[in-house]
Structure 1
């Protein structure tokens, strides 16, 4: 077998790296097409043919190469024919490609047929015979080759470019494919007419890659490319494999790794220019001009185009472009749409700088003074420094940020710095870009170079709030140096807070960064400087979010109650909020005061924005806030995915300190589910990195994980030993919000180790601080902590009030732990029957969560009370999802009995009955007593 050399002109839609892809034997995202090829090659007993169609660069040639390799491996004789523009006018050039690898078989043919084919090859003095005679000779040659060597695979690329005589001969061959001897596979651009068009051969359209496959392809070929640049390329290429592999070619290393800005319209490589520019270049000059105007205008608004060209003939001038399949007008919106994004790039490539400048100026005149679109066109038209436009663009950058486009805001700031004539202005804008990049968009790796450029432009501005904030974020996530970050920020904020610019975006970024420095330091002595700076800012202009963060996040134990109403209003406004900073920071304020569930949808928008190439840093924070919410809400399976994705982003973008928050959530889940090894390794990592750097909150995280792991294993001594050093009993430390997540754990570990006085003292401090009024969950945990702290008699009132707390089912792990604690007390007091009610409820919930050590504790208590325990979940064995006690209570409720009447019959309190009904409702998929009867009937029938 041999392969003819393909004409060089046929590389017009082949990626330069396609040979490596074929040698690796792997095509990304082409499972459907590869299955079709397998079927084609497996059906030789019947004869088979297939025509692949698709746009240029979609990967048809790569599929042909794959088919050729598979056919060769399966024993086929593979013959390749490649149409080319050069060979189209050379008679029999296509047929010669077929005959060349089969030349050894020609002499064995009958004399007349051998002479005919030699004439076609130009190896004799005779002129080629009639086409029908030639077609007959080719068929005989293929039949003989199949008989001698095995079946033949005829692979034809670009049949539309074959010379006419070859096309007519091959058309005859295609119509008479002999079973068992020949497989014909061809690939042609969509819409191209060829000799195969009328043969009835089945066809398959090769479509663009889906987003997942496109992303995988770019990641595989360009592993060093940053995720956001990769997303931009995937969007621009619209699934075209050639474009995916060629678009990075004109980009330098800095642009591929986000150390330099990408152009507004991506440039095309020479190969892409040949594909996408040829049809644009063939259009009339007026149509090309209008397309350029449309690309620069950006929205496709025909009214703007009409005003800009000062004529009503826009649609008429667009006609040639529409007929060429380059654009279309959306009948619903009335806007001009480019069929492929790279056509826009081709239009730009064919224009001159002077043409683009003139059109930008024309477009700027179509928008009012001060409007964003006017400013952007003026900026695009500017050739040299223009301080007026730079300042206008600076304001546009923050408008862009407030509507949720953080990456666009950063790009706009960088363009504003390019247009700045003075070093002071340029330095300020570069420092602001570094600040926004570090805190919002995830450009932490570029901070150092941006700050160096800012200092070079304006050495005096090195201590500005923007520069200090960017440097502090880099210090925190790189070296973990909270002390230096604190000093930088306090000095910069102090020197600028009295400037009168209380609404300065950067000053607020500096304050938020200082807030996080204070939080992660875990030391109360860091907070007075923050409080002083916030007071100065609030004197100039009230800022509800800043006040709420200070109270609900900075020191919620002592200050949250006073700001909860304002926080609730801010959370309600999240449905309309577009600024990712405000969404995440509102959710941060909500985290310790149990209001994260109301922030979910807004946080998911921030995460989606990050996945789509938007603000990565805020998306990481949103990930871990959602993960904490999922932990509290018992959605532990989704928690793992959220945490894993967030930690991957932290590793990719060097956000080590942010990653510690994700590590904490992962470690806490591992502890709750009994994966002690993972939990303790996570705690060790947090301590190992945080302790030498004075990051006290990381030690609190680590202690929380270790204590929870110990509590699950009923190792109360160890849990007490981990928690006791964090705060003195009876004193909830200031500026340690995490104490709201620890007081119940401490109360249980202290009470179970005989330190009842400390437990009671701690609960008294919780009540004195008005913690129960912060949220129903904290009220529930306060009652439970008070009940378990009691040294002698069981405090039924507190336990039952905790178990029956409004909305208790929203915090299943906490609720089940309270049920377990009450059941343990009751069982030890010989109240086995009543104890079983609570122990069964606890076990059922722990099983659903996968909290294995807690399941074991509950099961052991049930066995000790004489109850047979089934460890398999009801969902797995097909029985009713209710515990026996829930089943009994639900059946009585279905008869119409009230909670009080049920309580009398079962010797329970009405609160306990209500708690078990609330647990039973979601299991039966009902929301009220009215649906109980039918739900119970369905449950009985299914079992």
Structure 2
């Protein structure tokens, strides 16, 4: 007799914890309801679904849940071996019921004992089968009456022997007579003896993507996310495939240190599931399916040209078997499950695959990407000409937006290279793109090591230096060392013959020249490279761009003019050879935004306008980087989100990290502060996972800036300290500027203007707008306020004059608004209504709510001190509302204090009588504000600086407040003011 099948023979192991199925809450709820009603009035249910979808796992879970509900569970498993043995399956039910059989009526007991003796009813005549079914029903009814409801759980219904299936089908139709539940499972499309019995069916669907990721991550926690993404896509929600496919990968592949095959191989269990139908097809059909897998496009016309004959007719058997779907109207073929492609490959020979690739290559024109890839897959040894073709294809793939595919193509080209020089150069380029684009920084060391082994002489290539420099600054290296390394490589690249940018310079053999001419030149480039880059730039230009952009990032983070000077010299030489508008825009709008020429900004606006159709993640992110300081980020949002989605799908990870922080930057400026933590958190998690420590610093800065604005002083201080501690040993001067910005904003929120001035003065020289510190563009309003509020009006005015002299107001409306406000704040005494109003009335100023609210607060403060209380209140109330919406606690407190000082209890609606007049109280608003500040321990001079008063006036207010509060010194102020209600002030 057959024994029960081990659990999870078809994907049943999709468990995340003990006994917990992943992604099956709906099915388990259905089964709970099924057993609940079956306990009252019997029911039957058939689970259907594709092989490996998890029907067995659901049956196991159902059996456990039935036992929890006091069901007596009887298990049956169909067996292919015993499908021809009469009553083999029914015996699995009767075996544990031997004692109960003895208590039946004699004729019923004899009938069931005969069933248990194999061959007791050899011909399975209908009369005997009905007698057996009747006896089983009585047996089950008695079992239920004595011990509670009974559940019969049947797996692999298709392999039940016919007599057992007929009996069980009769039982299933008559379950309503007793509390008996019959739950069975079979593959979709399988015929069985239970078919046609009218049992209700429920299809078990594949897992959704979220559940699939949870299943794989739970079982293989060390697997790289991008590898997991590929497996999830290939498995298409099939739990068995999700759990078995990782077994075909080695440790390096699982951790993304080695490339994955184009078609994943199948382990033995999956071969049994997906190969059985393919094996049964005619030879001609299998050949067509192999061509379809190798082609990958699904186009029937390609198969027709490559193999000839009536393709639709020859694919018919595969359609009938449910292997493929063919749409003759569109001329497309699709495999019903992605792993069927793997099964087709597993059943083919290496010779057949090579013939197929060569046949397909002949159907594509010379120079096409498809031809190059098929020739590469057909190669059985080194082939420099094909390697050269793949070299060009890699960069076309990159510009199309497939960064991972580009790196894989470079690695394949390296495998096909016949010389160490060519192989080393290609491996170095793969390392370069891995470090700067795809997030493979952890693999850079291994790739560069392989490149050195292949070509010890050329180990200092530009690509190798770029990859090494990126790894250096993200690790324990300093920016000066990385800068020297990369600058030297750029100069060597310019001086040597390798600058032409094709593989012909580092691969042997004159035969390549013709191949490159045929495959890399000519009008075929139109619509590909030229759509994605300025001018006909080849692979060498791409690497030079990566080198220069890496150098630019180093100069930006260094904050030192001497490094920028070297960059400008090398970039000027490169631009003569191979001009790139984006590099020019980045140098000006990002590297020195305060002095960006109108022509550069116009060029940038054009690049931003074209982002909706840009596919290259590098150009999207770098255009957005150029847009960041000059307020063009809103136009980049949708394109940046596409880069983020691509990264989440396993694409350009490095670019996605930068996109996260650019979107967070935009969220800060636009007042979407609730989005900023999520964006930076995800970006920082990726930085930690992929070892991008320098790339993480802008994300840390933004979190620190938000903490400062919202009054989380401890977090702001820790973040600033961490930036300085990490940046100083590495020569990263920008991080000191970031830290000063965070500390100054925190101090300004607390009205500690002296501290704010001190922090800002450490990175700013009044009257100078440095070209080597782009971030200074974000600090001039803060500096003007801090300097003016500490009596340094001359410094504030000089700095604002420098801002206007540099033409910064013309860069963007936001910077124009802030310049007007800074000049108004810098004025020593009088309220400059024209400047304040021009700033407040800037068109669409609400797009920058934090700055706008700060300007209204500053205007309201000046108006109140000029005794224009009614006008001040409107600005102060608007500022308070915005600060509260943003969660900017310290700034809300400043605005609220000003409103109280103007005689308005905070929270009283504008326009009410109480708002207009206030309410009488022992202390005047000014006296109360001075007393509260004095109670914190501030001196008269410090209070005067905060409130724009003279120390003598502060002393006068305190002398008036002491008798009103019944205190004689500052020591008693805190207790006297505790609990003082707003209505006690005037």
Give me the TM-score of the superposition, normalised by structure 2.
Answer: 0.86
Residue aligning to 2:155: 157
Quote the Cα distance in structure 2 between the aligned partners of 1:81 and 1:367.
Answer: 55
Map 1:323-334 to 2 at 5 A: 323-330=320-327, 333-334=330-331
Residue aligning to 1:369: 366
Quote the Cα distance in structure 2 between the aligned partners of 1:133 and 1:539.
Answer: 96
1:817 to partner: Cα distance = 0.7
Quote the Cα distance in structure 2 between the aligned partners of 1:487 and 1:124.
Answer: 88
Which of the residues 44, 50, 60 maps onto 1:55?
Answer: 50
Matched residue SS, 2:75: strand
Are 2:460 and 1:454 aligned?
no
Map 1:849-860 to 2 at 5 A: 849-860=886-897
Residue aligning to 1:549: 586
Residue aligning to 2:104: 109
Are 2:289 and 1:256 aligned?
no
Quote the Cα distance in structure 2 between the aligned partners of 1:700 and 1:138.
Answer: 84
Which of the residues 299, 307, 314 maps onto 2:305?
Answer: 307
Are 2:63 and 1:68 aligned?
yes
Quote the Cα distance in structure 1 between the aligned partners of 2:121 and 2:799.
Answer: 109
Matched residue SS, 1:869: coil
Map 1:74-93 to 2 at 5 A: 74-93=69-88
Against the structure 1 CA distance between its residues 124 and 366, is the aligned structure 2 distance closer, same or farther, given a 3 Å change threshold?
closer
| Contact residue 86 and residue 119 of structure 2 kept, 8 A | no
- Pick which of 139-148 and 337-346 moved more: 139-148
Map 1:890-905 to 2 at 5 A: none
Are 2:17 and 1:13 aligned?
no
Residue aligning to 1:641: 678
1:381 to partner: Cα distance = 0.2
Are 2:231 and 1:233 aligned?
yes
| Contact residue 167 and residue 195 of structure 1 kept, 8 A | yes
Quote the Cα distance in structure 2 between the aligned partners of 1:582 and 1:71.
Answer: 58
- Pick which of 42-51 and 593-602 moved more: 42-51
Which of the residues 31, 35, 47 maps onto 1:37?
Answer: 31
Quote the Cα distance in structure 2 between the aligned partners of 1:708 and 1:363.
Answer: 64
1:240 to partner: Cα distance = 0.9
- Pick which of 513-522 and 359-368 moved more: 513-522
Quote the Cα distance in structure 2 between the aligned partners of 1:635 and 1:298.
Answer: 43
Are 2:351 and 1:354 aligned?
yes
| Contact residue 4 and residue 101 of structure 1 kept, 8 A | no
Quote the Cα distance in structure 2 between the aligned partners of 1:126 and 1:816.
Answer: 91
1:402 to partner: Cα distance = 0.7
1:184 to partner: Cα distance = 1.6
Are 2:20 and 1:26 aligned?
yes
Are 2:277 and 1:283 aligned?
no
| Contact residue 713 and residue 853 of structure 1 kept, 8 A | yes
Against the structure 1 CA distance between its residues 782 and 358, is the aligned structure 2 distance closer, same or farther, given a 3 Å change threshold?
same
1:199 to partner: Cα distance = 3.2
Are 2:114 and 1:119 aligned?
yes
| Contact residue 2 and residue 89 of structure 2 kept, 8 A | no
Are 2:570 and 1:533 aligned?
yes
Q: For structure 2, which runs of at least 5 residues remain unmatched after alignment?
A: 502-536, 916-986
| Contact residue 12 and residue 275 of structure 1 kept, 8 A | no
Matched residue SS, 1:459: coil
Residue aligning to 1:896: none
Once the two structures are superposed, residues 747-801 of structure 1 have per-residue CA deviations (whole angstroms, 9 ceiling, x without a partner) of 1112122222211111111111111111111111011111111111111111111
Matched residue SS, 1:337: strand
1:700 to partner: Cα distance = 1.5
Residue aligning to 1:711: 748
Quote the Cα distance in structure 2 between the aligned partners of 1:332 and 1:777.
Answer: 55
Which of the residues 481, 489, 493 maps onto 1:492?
Answer: 489
Residue aligning to 2:955: none
Once the two structures are superposed, residues 605-642 of structure 1 have per-residue CA deviations (whole angstroms, 9 ceiling, x without a partner) of 11111111111000111111111011111111222221
Once the two structures are superposed, residues 179-220 of structure 1 have per-residue CA deviations (whole angstroms, 9 ceiling, x without a partner) of 562112111111223344333332211111111111111111
Residue aligning to 2:641: 604
Map 1:143-222 to 2 at 5 A: 143-178=141-176, 181-222=179-220
1:13 to partner: Cα distance = 2.0
Quote the Cα distance in structure 1 between the aligned partners of 2:597 and 2:330.
Answer: 49
Q: For structure 1, which runs of at least 5 residues remain unmatched after alignment?
A: 872-881, 889-943
Once the two structures are superposed, residues 829-864 of structure 1 have per-residue CA deviations (whole angstroms, 9 ceiling, x without a partner) of 211110011112112222222222222221221222
- Pick which of 229-238 and 499-508 moved more: 499-508
Residue aligning to 2:525: none
Against the structure 1 CA distance between its residues 168 and 567, is the aligned structure 2 distance closer, same or farther, given a 3 Å change threshold?
same
Once the two structures are superposed, residues 542-590 of structure 1 have per-residue CA deviations (whole angstroms, 9 ceiling, x without a partner) of 2111111111111222345452122112222222221111111111111
Residue aligning to 1:921: none
Quote the Cα distance in structure 2 between the aligned partners of 1:681 and 1:186.
Answer: 61
| Contact residue 667 and residue 679 of structure 1 kept, 8 A | yes
| Contact residue 427 and residue 458 of structure 1 kept, 8 A | yes
| Contact residue 607 and residue 622 of structure 1 kept, 8 A | yes
Once the two structures are superposed, residues 808-843 of structure 1 have per-residue CA deviations (whole angstroms, 9 ceiling, x without a partner) of 121111111101110111112211110011112112
Which has the larger Rg?
Answer: 2
Quote the Cα distance in structure 2 between the aligned partners of 1:736 and 1:316.
Answer: 70
Are 2:803 and 1:808 aligned?
no
Once the two structures are superposed, residues 377-426 of structure 1 have per-residue CA deviations (whole angstroms, 9 ceiling, x without a partner) of 00010010000000010000001101111111011000000000100000
